[in-house]
């Protein structure tokens, strides 16, 4: 289990956890499962059987999943009613720091990355992936100052994920858990709309 922020490609199993005991020497299991699923996918993505296409497609998919749990959570939290009140500079002066603990709760995040497969300069097919992650946060804490989320501690995060392409299920729901104790400093912060 990693202590740093976690990208979606790690949540979906496309990347090895750098803190894993095995050192992360071999390919992540989900990558293997996705490749197998792509090989037996419906005719709509038959272009994947062409040499070199499946590995390149997996690389592009992994790039599309670089968003971190911290980014997903802070974007969602900054829109919640109980957090939005901190965006009012009259009620919460900019020189005062507020630490806000959140109860256990779920966030659902969906993505629809797509990859276009071309051959000899011609587009053969565009493959649209559909991914969902249901994230359960327990022990999250926000640091708010000046109407902005300045830092966040994610606490315990559990994720259930699903990924499909063109009707073919690629990754089924898996439960993964991280204990993210370190504080993520958000630079200039994320503005809280009020």
pLDDT tens-digit map of 48-57: 666 666 677 7
pLDDT tens-digit map of 102-131: 989 999 999 898 888 777 888 877 888 888
**Helix axes of 29-39 and 53-64: crossing angle, nearest 10 degrees:** 130
- Here the contacts of 117-121 (C-beta below 8 Å, separation 24 or greater) are 117/47, 117/48, 117/50, 117/53, 117/57, 119/47, 119/50
The tokens for 51 are: 């040499």
Domain ranges of the chain: 8-191
Instruction: Supply the DSSP string of 51-66, one letter for each residue.
Output: TTHHHHHHHHHHHHT-
Question: CB count, 10 Å around CB of 71?
Answer: 17
**The pTM is what?**
0.77
How do the pLDDT tens digits run along the chain, 194 residues long? 445 788 888 888 777 666 555 544 555 556 666 666 666 665 545 666 666 666 777 777 788 888 888 888 888 888 888 899 998 888 999 899 999 999 899 999 998 988 887 778 888 778 888 889 999 999 999 999 999 999 999 999 999 988 888 777 877 787 888 888 888 888 888 888 87
């Amino acid at each position: 289990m990693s202590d740093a922020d976690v990208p979606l490609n790690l949540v979906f199993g496309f990347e090895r956890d750098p803190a894993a005991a095995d050192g992360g020497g071999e390919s992540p299991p989900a990558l293997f499962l996705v490749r197998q699923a792509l090989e037996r996918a419906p005719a709509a993505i038959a272009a994947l059987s062409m040499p070199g296409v499946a590995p390149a497609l997996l690389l592009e998919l992994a790039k599309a999943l670089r968003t971190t749990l911290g980014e997903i959570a802070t974007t969602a939290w900054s829109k919640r009613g109980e957090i939005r009140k901190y965006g009012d500079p009259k009620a919460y002066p900019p020189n005062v720091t507020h630490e806000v603990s959140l109860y256990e709760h779920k966030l659902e995040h969906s993505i629809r990355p797509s990859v276009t497969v071309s051959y000899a300069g011609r587009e053969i097919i565009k493959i649209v992936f559909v991914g969902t992650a249901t994230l359960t946060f327990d022990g999250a804490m926000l640091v708010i100052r000046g109407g902005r989320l300045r830092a966040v501690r994610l606490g315990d995060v559990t994720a259930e994920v699903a990924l499909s392409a063109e009707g073919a299920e690629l990754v089924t729901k898996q439960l993964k858990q991280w204990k993210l104790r370190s504080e993520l400093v958000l630079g200039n912060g994320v503005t809280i709309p009020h």
